Amino acid sequence: MISSIVGRRAALGWMLGLGAALLAGSGRGDAAAPRVIRVHARKFIFTPDHIPLRAGESVVFELTAQDVIMGFSVPDFGVRADVPPGMTVRLPATARAAGKYEFLCDIFCGSGHETMNGVIEVT
């Protein structure tokens, strides 16, 4: 008798706990999911070449390259990645304080590579 009451209480507690965990989990997932920003690289252009971000915002760059292996580098954010053609490379980054920050290709990809860059504008 006593054991069956204890068992029922434990089961009820377990179900309430599970419900709370599911609610907390779904809420947290939505709030913390970083914004995805797709950037495509081809000789010798990034599209887009102007990326607006909010200060302190966490994002994931989804990087693709069309013709040859490219580099995607944001020196002021401390991130870079190789981007081979035919792959999607995910690169997490967090925006710094308001300002304009250069991003650039840091793998030599032909004549025109030197001007292959863009601006991240943080507001």
- The CB-of-73 to Cu ion minimum distance in angstroms stands at 10
Residue 113 binds to Cu ion (criterion: CB under 5 A): yes
Q: Contacting Cu ion (CB under 5 A), which of 109, 118, 120, 122?
A: 109
Show the binding pattern over residues 64-93: x = contacts Cu ion (CB under 5 A), - = does not: ------------------------------
Q: Which stretch binds Cu ion (CB under 5 A): 8-16, 19-27, 60-68, 115-123?
A: 115-123
The type of residue at 76 is D
The smaller minimum CB distance to Cu ion, of residues 91 and 105, is found at 105
Residue 105 binds to Cu ion (criterion: CB under 5 A): yes
CA–CA dist 39, 116 (Å, integer): 13
Phi and psi torsions of 63, nearest 5°: -110, 135
Residue 41 binds to Cu ion (criterion: CB under 5 A): no
Total of chain residues touching Cu ion, rule CB under 5 A: 4
- The CB-of-122 to Cu ion minimum distance in angstroms stands at 24
Residue with tokens 């920050």: 101
Contact 71, 86 (CB under 8 A): no
What is the Cα 54 distance to its own chain's centre? Answer: 14
Of 26, 59, 63, the closest CA to residue 48 belongs to 63
Of 84, 106, 80, the closest CA to residue 93 belongs to 80
Binding site for Cu ion (CB under 5 A): 105, 109, 113, 116
